[in-house]
Structure 1
């Protein structure tokens, strides 16, 4: 029965995507079917096989070591600040982002990341039937972040059509950057973080291919990656350290604001209506959670967490999931965990539009105009990934 429900969830995702499609004749159904099959195979491999278990364990150990190295620096600066037995969220989850940012900078500086991003992107372009630039951008977004990725292709931005810009932005919103992966792994099970990152990559191509189908002429399918201005190694280190610190501070500030605001709104709704705001959102999103494979007993709680992620960000939603996870089934927690691993929320619209506008005012204005459609598509990617995971766990 649950497989039938999840199948209905898949039909819902594709139906909602088709509803927004303006050029159904250009949809490449063969490529979409191929990528959907790959998603199922990857989900089954990562979550249900011994090799998948070993792979995820290996990745988890790498990030555990990175976080332990990061904690060495954090303890040196903030040692004694935390009470014994307590670890403040800012110190344990956000500040390690600085160290991961430094590692990304080193891999960028020595041209290791650009090499992998370019060739993986070229391989994916053969699979998804999209342009080389679109495929590269999806991989690069997962490596360097949703705003920084546009710097690497800034020479081509002004030449892109609105359709291609939508694809680039949707990829950036559907994925998460490596800088915050370690933070996620301290809040939800690492196997769901890894699975979501891989599946979202293909899910982004699938949803965009339906909502925003187009053909790229061979003469236009040119990938030009912008080299960063030449810096010395230590200049680069300083820049990436500060970039990581800015991300940690910005996320921390957003959490303070959003968590406090959500608590106030919940209290007001509770006084006026006898139910919290998140409780109301839970009822609204519960049917979607149910079709994703969440049992109805957990659907309202799951729906509230999904809605929280949409209107605030994934960190706030992960905190909420941690508070109620013990009262939910492991199956429900797995599905919702995967749903939360993306940048699909309202604040990302402003982040992406601002990043593009800083490089090209014309394209920034175009991105701002299709902001809600962008969020719509990225949210469908999260639902698609969660539904597939609901099938295999």
Structure 2
């Protein structure tokens, strides 16, 4: 049954992409590339979920990040002292702990999830300065160029997005942005929105099963090319020069200048995520209560969103009995962000089947939400004004395409349960 629903889910996802395609006839001509990329997604999903070797690799990554998070906690202990100690002893974000003899509710999300982002950002800065990270990105980009049917810049950007995140990735492309057609610019922006930043991978590891985080990163890497081949197909004869891409954006800076910049950037991310959580969770709470004020209604705003997305959740393979809950989480991520949805998911995960937990988990691992439109458009606009304006114009289609990448990833994972 999982295989049948998986096939239905893939066809359904392809249909949703095709109806929004900018060139439906050309999309059909990309079928070879699409099948190769789809096969790679199935292969890696099987490798990580059903083989000892794949589970071992995931274990290595999980252990490595756990050690890094341990070092991050040491830094947090120095600044926050007993508050950090209590947060690491309590289990999940939001758990009640004892403080000065009084029962208080301490939201440990800030200490366990956000504070480590600063340390991971510092590690990324070191890897960037030593040229290790740019080298890794370039190698992955060359490999993707051979298998995706996309030009080198799009292939490079796919790898860079997977590691750098939706804002930082465009810095290395500042020289080529003015030369990008609108279609190519859509691909670059969609790649950024379908990824997550390496700096917050550790944060996701503390909230979700690490295997699903890693699987989502890998499947999204290939999935964005699948969706772009359908929703945004193009054929251009392009002579790409590697020199157009700035693979050493830290050139001319000292080691400690780079390190300081990345640490400050990590702090900014922490503040932005915390502010967005406060705002979005408060607004959702307000909307939920407003809907409950409607005479005869016992449905919250999120309940209604769940029913709207329920058919989509079912068609990609989530059991009907759990489709409303899954649909609500999918919708919450779309209109707010991945962190808000994950916090909601944590509270209901134990009541869901293993299959639904896996599919929802991988769906939540990306930046595909309405708020990302402004972040990406603003990042591009800061580097090239006209390109930023073009990104803003296709913003809704950008969220649509990036969300379909998450839908496809969840569908692929559902095959193996």
Q: Same fold (TM over 0.5)?
A: yes
Give the Cα separation in 2 of the matches to 1:271 and 1:190. Answer: 40
- After TM superposition, the score normalised by the length of structure 2 is 0.92
Higher mean C-alpha displacement, 223-232 vs 108-117: 223-232
Separation (CA, whole Å) in 1 of partners of 2:260 and 2:277? 26
Is 1:123 matched with 2:143? yes
Q: Paired residue for 1:294, among 302, 318, 338?
A: 318
Separation (CA, whole Å) in 2 of partners of 1:16 and 1:383: 10
Residue number in structure 2 paired with 1:137 = 157
Matched, 1:24 2:27: no
| Count of residues in correspondence between the two structures | 393
Counterpart CA distance in 2 for 1:102 and 1:317 is: 27
TM-score of the superposed pair, with normalisation by structure 1? 0.98
In the alignment, the residues of structure 2 paired with residue 221 and residue 298 of structure 1 have an alpha-carbon distance, to the nearest angstrom, of 49
Shift of 1:201: 0.3
Distance 1:184 1:223 in 2: 35
**Does structure 1 residue 97 correspond to structure 2 residue 117?**
yes
The gaps in structure 2 that reach 5 residues or longer are 91-106
1:106-158 per-position Cα deviation (integer Å, ceiling 9, x unaligned) = 11001111111112101111101001000100110111111111010101100
Residues 353-364 of structure 1: pairs in structure 2 closer than 5 A: 353-364=377-388
Tell whether 2:408 aligns with 1:384.
yes
1:162 aligns with one of 163, 182, 185: 182
In structure 1, how many angstroms separate the alpha carbons of the residues matched to 2:54 and 2:143?
22
The alignment partner of 2:207 has SS state of coil
- Note closer, same or farther for the CA distance 1:257–1:249 as it changes in structure 2 (3 Å cut): same
Structure 2: how far apart are the matches of 1:114 and 1:224?
14
2:195 corresponds to which residue?
Answer: 175
Alpha-carbon RMSD across the aligned residues, in angstroms, is 1.3
Structure 1 residue ranges without an equivalent (≥5): none
Q: Which position in structure 2 is the counterpart of 1:234?
A: 256
Preserved CA contact (<8 Å) 2:141 2:152: yes
Q: 2:50 aligns with which of 48, 51, 61?
A: 48
In the other structure, the counterpart of 1:271 is 293
Deviation at 1:224, TM superposition (A): 2.2
1:375 to 399, 409, 416: 399
Q: CA deviation at 1:222?
A: 5.1
SS at 2:239 equivalent: coil
Aligned to 1:68: 70
